[in-house]
Amino acid sequence: MKKLLTILLLIFVCSNVYAEIDKPTYQVGVRVVGSRYEDECNSYIRRELRKHSDVEVTDTSNRFIIELWVIRNISFTTGQPTGYSVAYVFLEKFSSSHLFSILNLSRKPLEEEHEEKLKDIIDSHEICLGMYLQSGSLNDLEKICKDIVLQFDGFLENRRQMGQGLEEAIRKLEKIAN
């Protein structure tokens, strides 16, 4: 009986996560910092991201951010442009809702006043998933942006696999419970 209750509790807890996994969408924002190539890079990155059916490109309420700094390289000898260097980071926003659901399971819920203060603190922070640098010729800016999205998709692929694993675990728990 205790085992069955535990299984039912796990199914209940995972059902909210399962609903998100059923049709996952990753909200991604793009920030190009201090560059006169902002419009060009934004266009390239957003176009590549939209090719992924599980990615929603958004300027607000995003979970992930691709942030870029673009510099045009100049030759020291001729003074002519030679290409681009793009420094970029992949960021993930902290999610207070996940933390609160864990806290509420482990002990009594937080008081509303404390929860709001904690939510503001947590939701305003980001985790750096990776920091990179790419360089290319004057004709390579679009290719560099495509490579950045391809690399970011590798991060999302890990999330997709975790979601599939959780989906399978929930199906197994449901079979055991029935």
Mind listing the pLDDT tens digit for each residue in 1-42? 556 545 544 554 555 444 444 567 889 999 998 778 889 999
Query: Which pLDDT belongs to residue 114?
Result: 65
Using 50, 70 and 90 to split pLDDT, how confident is the model at 49?
A: very high
Query: Which pLDDT belongs to residue 28?
Result: 93
Residue that wins the pLDDT comparison between 129 and 143: 143
Residue that wins the pLDDT comparison between 81 and 3: 81
% of the chain exceeding 90 in pLDDT: 37
Residue 177 has pLDDT above 90, yes or no: no
Average pLDDT over residues 136-165: 89
Strands of the sheet with 64-74, listed across from one edge = 55-57, 26-32, 64-74, 81-93, 126-137
Pick the CATH number of 2-177 from 1.10.10, 1.10.3470, 3.40.50, 1.20.1260: 3.40.50
Residue that wins the pLDDT comparison between 147 and 37: 147
Structure tokens at 72: 């045009």
Residue 104 has pLDDT above 70, yes or no: no
% of the chain exceeding 70 in pLDDT: 69
Task: Report how far residue 124's alpha carbon sits from residue 115's, in angstroms, rounded to the nearest whole number.
Answer: 14
Average pLDDT over residues 134-153: 94
